[in-house]
Structure formats: structure tokens, C-alpha cells
A and B are shown apart, each in its own frame.
Chain A
Amino acid sequence: MHPLRRQRLQIVILIIFAGACASALIIYALGQNANFFYTPTQIEEGQAPKGTLIRAGGMVVEGSVKRDDISLAVEFSVTDGAAILRVRHIGILPDLFAEGEAAIAAGRIDDNNILQATEVLAKHDEKYTPPEVADSMNATYQSRQEAKAELK
């Protein structure tokens, strides 16, 4: 083979090899660090994997927020309108966390189907609802409308 061609071939092979390595690494890292969002309904149905880091959210149920007397442990429930998910967290809750408002928690589902949250996020201004929560509420609403329509 012509030396110039051979050199070019080497470069091409090198690029392909580096590209393949990079893609493999990216796919691996994304797989490790991409957290799926589940609605309370999906978790109740057992669709969410136990023990892996996930995100879940909904509207915080009125009267469900309970603070521990001596530590920063807190427990509350979120709902998408159909199912209720219990969330436990130790730490400070965000400023706009409130009953009747949307919240998202990141954590792991334990054996009792309780989300042990490492992080709780609330919306950042009063006009805003996280799209995931809005979608899940809409889905519940729509399925109810369809159910009503079928009854008629």
C-alpha cells in the first residue's frame, strides 16, 4: 500500500476506535446516571425498580406533612390524582414546598413502597408546575373523563 494511504488508513482506524470508545463510555455513563421519573400510579403498580435511584412526584397531599420532633426527618405523601406515594426525607425542604403544591423527590423505593428521598425539589415560582407532574395529573384527569364517557 502507498505510504500516504497507509497513514490515512491508520488515522481513520484511530478515529473510528476513539469514536467507538467514546460512544461506549457515554452510553455507560448515561445508563448509570439517568434517573427515570415515575408517577405514584406507576409505583403502586410496581413498575418502578426497587433500590435504584429514581424520581417521583405529584401534588403534596393536604395534611400529610409530618415533621419529627427531634430530628430533621420528615414524611409526606404525593399524589397524581389516582394513587398516593409516601415519601421520607431527612433534611431541609425547599422554600416553595407546601401542601397542595407540586413537588418532585429523588430517591429509592424501599420494600414498603416508600420513597426514601435524598433530595426534594419544589417549583421555583408560584406560576410554575414541573412538566412531569402536570403531565401525570393530566393523564389521570383524562382517564377519568374517558371512564365517565364510557359509563354514559
Chain B
Amino acid sequence: MSPELGHLAVIAALCLSFFQAVIPMVGSFVGHRSWMRLGHSLALGQFVFLGLAFVCLISVFIQDDFSVAYVANNSNTLLPLHYKVSAVWGAHEGSLLLWTLILAGWSGAIALFSGHMPQTFSARVLSILGFISLGFLLFLLFTSNPFERLLPVSPIEGRDLNPLLQDFGLIVHPPMLYMGYVGSSVPFAFAIAALIGGQFDSAWARWSRPWINTSWVFLTLGISLGSWWAYYELGWGGWWFWDPVENASFMPWLMSTALVHSVAATEKRGVFRSWTLLLAILSFSLSLLGAFLVRSGILTSVHSFANDPERGIFILWFLVIVVGASLLLFAIRSPQMANSTTHRGWSRETILLVNNVLLVTSTATIFIGTLYPLFSDVFQLGKISVGAPYFNFFFVPLMIILMLALGFAGFTRWGSTDVNLLLRRGLFPGLLSFFIALLVPALLTDSSSGSSYSFTAGITLFVSAWVLFMTIEDIYLKSRGSWINAKRFTCSYWGMVIAHIGLAACALGVGMSSSYDEQRDLRMMPGDAVKISDYEFRFGGVNRVDNANFVAFRGEVSVTDKTGMTINLFPEKRNYKAGGQVMTEAAIDASLARDLYVSLGEPLQGEAWAVRLQIKPLVRFIWLGSVLIGFGGLLAAFDKRYRRRKKLLDGQSNRGGLAFE
């Protein structure tokens, strides 16, 4: 298939998106039913055309058509087939096409699964998504067309795909992350449609909640895949750097997390209405801001695409229009919304409010830390960078408070809860967690090597154990100790429980791997051995291995543990033939308890090499926890009540919610 066909398909999708933005919206005001219905078919049509364009781009990559500039810059005949396909979203233009395709996918899904919503409402949702799509397609066509030809002189061979991106992680991380990023436009569209219609009640929350949860799940998994990729592919064992681009995805995630919780209160009690809308608007705005930061090239980062000021300006204008218009609409409409119920003192509403305040505060501190260097540069206050200590200074304490409050989540009731009851429920888990926090780091303290009791580990263990025990106590009390009762729990209850345990696991991984991480940078000759905690690392030397598209210097490190078991690890230093890039390929022996992480630095005199040896306890819990969080979110999104309501269409307030409220 030719690139021209793909180009035409994008233009066709652009036309459809224009009609999708205008016709259903006008129809919803004049009450024209067929105009409103048109939105559904336009959304699906747009998805088909963008799918066609995407397939065209893939086929151009597979055919090695280097007359297309984007292919020439990001592919090579030596590249294995699966990387030729994933190279499609390896740089700015193609990843933007994937972005628009995913957006069309979300719109299409809404078109298919919105039968239970009033027609005016779903028409407006689709119209707003059409408007967003219009913006991105204009951006794609006018500043970043992936189908542009290099004619009449086209290269015979392409430049390579950046070797960092020749990896399984890159095949899955961007599509997953975009599903989440772009997914935040769905809650946004719901919020704007509600503001336009002035109808915003529990029914709204019930329609939008599965969508809010699903997009949040994708963002969760996308970010954790990215962190996992950085961990094994960048070669030095870091999994989070507070890099501006990481922050750009983390801010919408924190906001969406707040949204997932506040919309629960809106659905069940009708409270926090305007707040929920505002969170939906802000998460989408932060997603757009992220797109701006990454794609304008104003940031220094591993992720930044090659820069072009024109692109930055386009997104900046789009951002200003979208954020400005939606906040204006919000300012006009929100005073009309009054909360329907009240809550007093300690209640589930209060706990959710605490959750929201903490999440929004941490987003604000990250926002300031990320944008301050840009601000300082623009106003000539000097070129600065804000380091990780700044972010940890705020984020870590806020998350500790968050997890302490989270422990009570299951025991609080809507409306009001007896404080003494909460204290009674918290007493035993609190004591148990305290003992664990005291005991485990003390046992791990090795006085011979001069290490002392680790407070970081102590606090981590306390909050993680606290969340875990409180959650288990909650399950136990609600099921009255019987499995038959537990089977009657709703999916959303299980979802909440699993996600909260996931958070505890993730926090445990973060805290323990940072407190007990062992790292040595060494100069090693073949035959040299070094003992780090319970492991002996022996360096066997390096030999040369030739591959299709790179030459590798392959080191051998054998690691012997206390029991005498030996593991051989083969870290590599790779030289890529096409682009001349050098890359560190770490060798990792992974297990739930610890990772052994070995990477080759550079060759020194003679046969000596610089080698980095690391032991990372419980580091896998970080990603395991994220997967649990994602799984919990998904369970909650697929709760029975969202499907049952489709048939009933009664609009009554929901009574089938959380078990035992």
C-alpha cells in the first residue's frame, strides 16, 4: 500500500472529524435526532480511515520504502521485522498517528457502548471527542506528516531506529501509555457534555465511571511499563528519575487517581460534583501539557523527540483554547451545582477528600518542579535543573499520609462514622505493623558491616503492612469470616481491595529497594572476584560476538550465593552498525526477593573493564504492585451494576453499589 493512500485516509479522517465535531452538537441543540445519531457513524468511520492510514504506514516500513522521510529516518534494512513494525511509533510523526488512531478508537468505543445514555448527551460527548480529534489531525497533517516523501532524491539505506527503542518494551509501552493519555479525553468529554447540558448527577457519574476507570488503568500500566523498560533497557538499574517527561505522564495519572476516587463519592452520594468535573478537565489538560512538553522539544530528556518550534506553538495554542474554553464553561456552570447531601466529621467522604487533597497537592508540587526550569530559562533567571531530592521531599511524605488514611477507607461509612470504631479497628493492625516495622529492619541490620537500623525501611514496612492488614481485616469483618459471604462481594469492592493491596506492594518495593540497594562500580580484570552482601561476583572477561545489526562485547559474570549456587550473567556492550550507537545491555537475574543486576561500563587498559554490580531487594514488587493496581481498576470498571443499568435505563439512584454500606 502506498504512502499516498495513507495520506488520503488521514485527510478523509480529518473531514469526518470536522463533521463529528459540528453536526451532533448542532443536532443536540435543535433536537434533530438523525443529526445526533450521525456522530456514532462518523466516529466509527474515522476509526476505519485512521486504521487504514496506520496499516499503510506499517506496510511502508515493512517494504523499506526509504523515499518516505519518516521511514528513512527511523528504519533500516538490517532491522528485524518486529522492530520495523514497532518503529512506526518510534518517533514523533508515527507516534502521533498512533495517538489519533487510539483517540478514534476511544470515540468508536463510545459510539458502540453508549446505548444506555440519553441521546443528546452521547451526541455531545462524541462531538467534543471529534473536536479534539480535529485538533490532533490538523497538527498531524500540517506539522508532522509521516507520509512525506523525499523525492526525487531518496536514500538507498535508512538511518537506524535508536537502539534504545529496539526492544520489547518499546513495542508495548507507547501504545499502552497513549491508551491512558488519550483515554483521559473521554472523562473530559463527559465533563464538558455535562457542563453544556447542565445535567450533572449520580447518573452522570455512573455512565462515566467505567470509562474513567478504564483509561486510568491504561495510564497506570503504561507508566509502569515505561518504568520497567527504563530499568532493564537503559542499563544502569534506575526505574524512576523524576525526568520531566516521566512527570508529564505522572501528573495526569495522579489527577486521574484523584478523579477515580472523587467520582465514586459523586456516584454514591452526589457530593464533590463540581470538583469531579474540575478534576476531569485538569487531567486532560495535564495530558495535553504532557504532549506539549514532550513534542515541542523544549525539554532535555531521553524521551524528547527532535524539536521543531512550529509544533510546540501549535500544541500550545490548542492547549490554551481547550483549557481556556473548558475552564470558562466550568466557571459559568459550576455555581449552579449544589451538593445534595451533607457529611459530618469522619466519614467516607472525608477520607476521599483527604485522598484528593493529597493527590492534588503532590501534582501541584511536581508541576512546579517540572515547569520551574522552563520558567527560569524564559525569564533569563539562569539555566537550572530541579533534582530528584526536590520531588521526593514532597512526594514521599504526602504518600505516607495518604497510605495511613487509606487504611481506614474500608471501615468508614458514607455520611458519618464513629471515630471510636475506626480507632478500635485500627488498633490491632497498627500494633502488628509497628512490630514488623521495628523487627524486620533490625534483623536486616548487619552490625559487622556498620549498617544501622534503616528508618526508610521501617516507615515503608509500617505503611505497607498497615494498608495490607487493614484491608484484610475489612474483608474478614465484611464476610464474617466465611468464604460464602465473600463470594457475594461486588466486583467494585474486590477491585478496590486489590488496587489498595497493589499500592502497598508497590510502596514496599520502592522503599525496600531504595533502602537495601547495594551498588558497586568497579574496575575488574578477568578472574577478579568481589563479595557484596551474600553474593560473590566473579568476572570472567569479555569476548566479541557478531550479530545481524550490531557487534556485542559480551562479558561473563558468575554470581555465587551463600548456598553455593552459581548463576552466570552475560552483560553486553553493543555497537550498532547502522547508526554507530553504543548501548549497555544489562544482565539481570530476576526473582521476587531480589534482582542481581550486572552491567558493563567501558573497556579500560588491557583486559580490564569498568563493571557495575547491583543487588536490588524486592524491586519486582514495584511493577507487581502496579499490575495489581491496574487489575483492581479493571475489575471495578466491569462491575455488574454498570451493565445491568443499561437494560433498566431507569436513572434512579444506584442501590447495588458497594457491599455492606
A residues adjacent to B (C-beta < 8 A): 22, 25-26, 29-30, 32-37, 55, 67, 69-72, 90-93, 95-96, 124-128, 130-132, 135
Interface string of B142-169 (1 = CB under 8 A from A): 0000000000000000000010100000
Min distance, Cβ B226 to any Cβ of chain A, angstroms: 15
Q: How many angstroms between the C-alpha atoms of A55 and B369 in the bound complex?
A: 17
Contacts A92-B521, A95-B582 given: A30-B368 contact, CB under 8 Å? Answer: yes
For A25, list chain B residues within 8 Å (CB): 394
In the complex, B641 has a CB within 8 A of chain A: no
Interface of chain B residues 601 through 641 with chain A (CB within 8 A): 601-602, 604-605, 610, 612
Q: How many angstroms between the C-alpha atoms of A95 and B164 in the bound complex?
A: 12
For B604, list chain A residues within 8 Å (CB): 67
In the complex, B386 has a CB within 8 A of chain A: yes
Segment of B251-259, B377-385, B483-491, B500-508 engaged in the interface with chain A: B377-385
Interface string of B352-374 (1 = CB under 8 A from A): 00000000010011001100110
For B583, list chain A residues within 8 Å (CB): 95
Q: How many angstroms between the C-alpha atoms of A92 and B521 in the bound complex?
A: 7
Q: Which of B300, B384, B389, B523 contacts A131 (CB 8 A)?
A: B300
In the complex, given contacts A90-B521, A95-B573, A126-B579, what are 15 additional A-B residue pairs having Cβ atoms less than 8 angstroms apart?
Answer: A22-B361, A26-B368, A32-B393, A34-B376, A34-B385, A35-B384, A36-B382, A37-B385, A72-B521, A72-B523, A72-B601, A92-B612, A95-B235, A126-B580, A126-B581
Are the CB atoms of B393 and A125 closer together than 8 Å?
Answer: no
For A135, list chain B residues within 8 Å (CB): 383
For B364, list chain A residues within 8 Å (CB): 22
For A92, list chain B residues within 8 Å (CB): 521, 601-602, 610, 612
Min distance, Cβ A88 to any Cβ of chain B, angstroms: 15
Are the CB atoms of B581 and A34 closer together than 8 Å?
Answer: no
Min distance, Cβ B584 to any Cβ of chain A, angstroms: 6
Q: Which of A30, A36, A69 contacts B390 (CB 8 A)?
A: A30
Interface string of B384-419 (1 = CB under 8 A from A): 111101100110000000000000000000000000
Min distance, Cβ B603 to any Cβ of chain A, angstroms: 10
The 14 listed contacts between A and B (C-beta, < 8 Å) are: A29-B390, A34-B386, A34-B387, A36-B383, A55-B385, A67-B604, A67-B605, A71-B523, A93-B601, A95-B583, A95-B584, A125-B162, A126-B580, A132-B383
Q: Which residue of B lies closest to A125 (CB)?
A: B162
Q: Which residue of B lies closest to A53 (CB)?
A: B387
Interface of chain B residues 294 through 312 with chain A (CB within 8 A): 300, 302, 306
In the complex, B427 has a CB within 8 A of chain A: no
Q: How many angstroms between the C-alpha atoms of A126 and B386 in the bound complex?
A: 25
Min distance, Cβ A101 to any Cβ of chain B, angstroms: 11
Minimum-distance CB pairs A-B, first 3: A92-B601, A33-B390, A37-B383
Q: Which of B164, B235, B383, B386 contacts A33 (CB 8 A)?
A: B386
In the complex, B313 has a CB within 8 A of chain A: no
For B372, list chain A residues within 8 Å (CB): 30, 34
Are the CB atoms of A26 and B365 closer together than 8 Å?
Answer: yes
Contacts A92-B610, A95-B584 given: A33-B579 contact, CB under 8 Å? Answer: no
Are the CB atoms of B582 and A96 closer together than 8 Å?
Answer: yes
Are the CB atoms of B382 and A37 closer together than 8 Å?
Answer: yes
Are the CB atoms of B383 and A32 closer together than 8 Å?
Answer: no
For B580, list chain A residues within 8 Å (CB): 126
Q: How many angstroms between the C-alpha atoms of A104 and B394 in the bound complex?
A: 27
In the complex, B522 has a CB within 8 A of chain A: yes
Min distance, Cβ B389 to any Cβ of chain A, angstroms: 5
Min distance, Cβ A72 to any Cβ of chain B, angstroms: 5
Are the CB atoms of B610 and A124 closer together than 8 Å?
Answer: no
For A67, list chain B residues within 8 Å (CB): 604-605
Q: Which of B361, B384, B605 contacts A34 (CB 8 A)?
A: B384
Q: Which residue of B lies closest to A34 (CB)?
A: B384
For B602, list chain A residues within 8 Å (CB): 92-93
Min distance, Cβ B396 to any Cβ of chain A, angstroms: 12
For A132, list chain B residues within 8 Å (CB): 300, 383
Q: How many angstroms between the C-alpha atoms of A131 and B387 in the bound complex?
A: 18
Q: Which residue of A lies closest to B376 (CB)?
A: A34
Q: How many angstroms between the C-alpha atoms of A69 and B605 in the bound complex?
A: 7
For A126, list chain B residues within 8 Å (CB): 579-581
Min distance, Cβ A40 to any Cβ of chain B, angstroms: 14
Are the CB atoms of A130 and B300 closer together than 8 Å?
Answer: yes
Q: How many angstroms between the C-alpha atoms of A144 and B109 in the bound complex?
A: 60
Most buried by A among B306, B604, B612: B604
For A130, list chain B residues within 8 Å (CB): 300
Q: Which residue of B lies closest to A95 (CB)?
A: B582
Min distance, Cβ B466 to any Cβ of chain A, angstroms: 25
Q: How many angstroms between the C-alpha atoms of A72 and B609 in the bound complex?
A: 10
Q: Which residue of B lies closest to A119 (CB)?
A: B387
Q: How many angstroms between the C-alpha atoms of A22 and B573 in the bound complex?
A: 46
Are the CB atoms of B581 and A33 closer together than 8 Å?
Answer: no
Q: Which residue of B lies closest to A67 (CB)?
A: B604
Are the CB atoms of B390 and A32 closer together than 8 Å?
Answer: yes
Min distance, Cβ B302 to any Cβ of chain A, angstroms: 5
Q: How many angstroms between the C-alpha atoms of A95 and B387 in the bound complex?
A: 22
Q: Which of B373, B376, B522, B573 contacts A72 (CB 8 A)?
A: B522
Min distance, Cβ A117 to any Cβ of chain B, angstroms: 14
Q: How many angstroms between the C-alpha atoms of A96 and B580 in the bound complex?
A: 10
Min distance, Cβ A16 to any Cβ of chain B, angstroms: 15
Q: Which residue of A lies closest to B364 (CB)?
A: A22
For B521, list chain A residues within 8 Å (CB): 72, 90-92
Interface of chain B residues 569 through 587 with chain A (CB within 8 A): 573, 579-584
Min distance, Cβ B477 to any Cβ of chain A, angstroms: 35
Q: Which residue of B lies closest to A97 (CB)?
A: B602
Min distance, Cβ A51 to any Cβ of chain B, angstroms: 17
For A34, list chain B residues within 8 Å (CB): 372-373, 376, 384-387, 390
Min distance, Cβ A134 to any Cβ of chain B, angstroms: 10
